[in-house]
Amino acid sequence: MNDQNRREFFTRAGLTLTAASYSRILGANDKVNHVVVGLGGRGQNHMDGFMGVKECMVMGVCDVNQAARERAIVKVEKGTGQKPKEYSDMRKVFEDKSVDSVSMATPNHWHALGAIWAAQAGKDVYVEKPASHNIFEGWKMIEAARKYNRMMQVGSQGRSAKHKIRAVQLLNEGVIGEVYMAKGLCFKRRKSIGHKENEPTPAGLNWDMFLGPAPMRPYNELRFRYNWHWFWDTGNGDIGNQGVHQMDIARWGMGNIGLPNSVVSTGGKYAYIDDQETPNTQNAVFDYGGKKQLVFEVRGLVTGPEGNLNPRGGTIGNLFYGTDGWMALDDAGFQVFKGENSEKTMDEKAERGDGNVLHMGNFIAAVKSRNYKSLNAEIEIGAMSAALGNLANIAYRMGRKLNVDPVKRQFINDAEANKMLTRDYRKPYVVPEKV
């Protein structure tokens, strides 16, 4: 059905459509109008990825930093042949009736509020990992997606990688017997961020909007460009940065297990004297009632490889242990080892291709089909994976083992820890109790 026939159809049906309402009806041949919000390093990947999905048109870019917007406009115009709309405030994106979907490629502390605002405005959302900066936010994102019938995909692109889908299928079929433990490894080299003094906010940057839900602090470059990951106000350390990918795969390989019965996390910021707040070395153990265990390890300092995983650029991947053997899985492929002598019985390589395009294509297809169950990393999946990393960080900051009630989704008899399930939001940037 072409544009003219579609208009005639709705006219015959007695429906008068404004230009705005007409643009919201997506036919099989229509492109999804998409805006990327947050134009830093990951935002650059979003622009490339969504421009690589033929059913999508990147029609706008949004950032609190003028210089980032200017770079993005050049990039999108070169990639699409059309100059995108420019927005300095995401709220203006959500008000724009011509926008169908948005990316939230902002720092972690903005993921939830931006996604909820977008859902309330009738936009579908692709939100970067971790889904949320704290656990409360993740549950609110699920509520918003359901209430407003929105597609909400989390950027856990491993869920769209064919070799990882195959590996998890084999685990579910018992290729190594009953899986009793999964390990996630994030041995990603991170050098010291050093120290910098506060300074005046650079021209063209809306620092108030950048901080958003976080406390107001003087501008400091270390809290802005990428290093925001290492401050509790805005980031979640490497367990919530790179590590959440492997946390998600660990959960997936164990049958999408949810909240544990207990969590303990130890470590610290070793070797460096600098401004970083989050640990560069961290161990977390999640116990599932003595039946299964999930173990996670972060090493940001110089270290060696583990478990046959590809050490190039750091050992980043997953190890699964079963009653009959074990599996090593990373972006390069997976291997299966069986028996007492760990005989290698399978060795499959990953297919070449852009995982971002596959995952973003899955999102765009769901935007058109309106079937949230077709999303490979739907918000309910992503919120739970983010929750595990957040549980670990709370246990680390509390300095003790925490017992969890998986049904009530809170810590047992621990008011101090339960307070850290959410945060004190800076008005007006408040994630609401009622979405």
Indicate if the pLDDT at residue 122 is higher than 90: yes
**pLDDT given for residue 353 in this prediction:** 78
CB contact at 8 A, 227 and 191: no
The confidence band for 310, taking pLDDT boundaries of 50, 70 and 90, is confident
40 to each of 50, 110, 224, 254, 277, how far by Cα in Å? 15, 14, 10, 34, 22
Contacts of 311 (CB under 8 A, 6+ apart): 304, 305
Distance, in Å, from the CA atom of 277 to the CA atom of 178, rounded to the nearest integer, reads 39
Distance, in Å, from the CA atom of 203 to the CA atom of 337, rounded to the nearest integer, reads 57
Q: How many CB atoms lie within 10 A of CB 4?
A: 8
293: helix, coil or strand? strand
Distance, in Å, from the CA atom of 249 to the CA atom of 385, rounded to the nearest integer, reads 9
Q: How far apart are the first and last CA of the chain?
A: 37
pLDDT tens, 392-414? 999 999 999 999 999 999 999 99
The confidence band for 25, taking pLDDT boundaries of 50, 70 and 90, is low
Q: Which of 11-20, 49-58, 110-119, 309-318 has the lowest mean pLDDT?
A: 11-20
> Quick one: what percent of the chain has pLDDT higher than 70?
93
Looking at residues 340-368, what average pLDDT do you find? 93
Indicate if the pLDDT at residue 18 is higher than 50: no
- Phi then psi for residue 244, to 5 deg, are -65, -25
Distance, in Å, from the CA atom of 278 to the CA atom of 294, rounded to the nearest integer, reads 21
Looking at residues 363-369, what average pLDDT do you find? 98
> Quick one: what percent of the chain has pLDDT higher than 90?
89
Indicate if the pLDDT at residue 94 is higher than 60: yes
Looking at residues 325-351, what average pLDDT do you find? 95
**pLDDT given for residue 340 in this prediction:** 93
Closest Cα partner for 383 from 44, 164, 112, 66? Answer: 112
pLDDT tens, 175-205? 999 999 999 999 999 999 999 999 999 999 9
Q: How many CB atoms lie within 10 A of CB 189?
A: 12
Residue holding tokens 């064919």? 162
Arithmetic mean of pLDDT over the chain: 93
The model's pTM: 0.92
122 backbone φψ class: left, alpha, beta (φ>0; ψ -120 to 50): left
pLDDT tens, 249-284? 999 999 999 999 999 999 999 999 999 999 999 999
Distance, in Å, from the CA atom of 339 to the CA atom of 335, rounded to the nearest integer, reads 14
Distance, in Å, from the CA atom of 412 to the CA atom of 389, rounded to the nearest integer, reads 18
**pLDDT given for residue 20 in this prediction:** 41
Indicate if the pLDDT at residue 3 is higher than 50: no
Indicate if the pLDDT at residue 17 is higher than 50: no
List of domains in the chain:
3-158+360-377 (3.40.50.720), 161-351+384-419 (3.30.360.10)
Q: How many CB atoms lie within 10 A of CB 227?
A: 19
pLDDT tens, 202-224? 999 999 999 999 999 999 999 99
**pLDDT given for residue 22 in this prediction:** 38
**pLDDT given for residue 360 in this prediction:** 97
Distance, in Å, from the CA atom of 214 to the CA atom of 234, rounded to the nearest integer, reads 7
Maximum CA extent, the chain: 73
Torsion of CA 373, 350, 184, 279, to 10 degrees: -100
**pLDDT given for residue 13 in this prediction:** 42
168-175 long-range contacts, CB within 8 A, separation 24+: 168/249, 168/252, 168/253, 170/327, 170/336, 170/346, 171/253, 171/254, 171/320, 171/322, 171/327, 172/255, 174/322, 174/324, 175/322, 175/325, 175/327, 175/336, 175/346
The confidence band for 11, taking pLDDT boundaries of 50, 70 and 90, is very low
**pLDDT given for residue 383 in this prediction:** 98
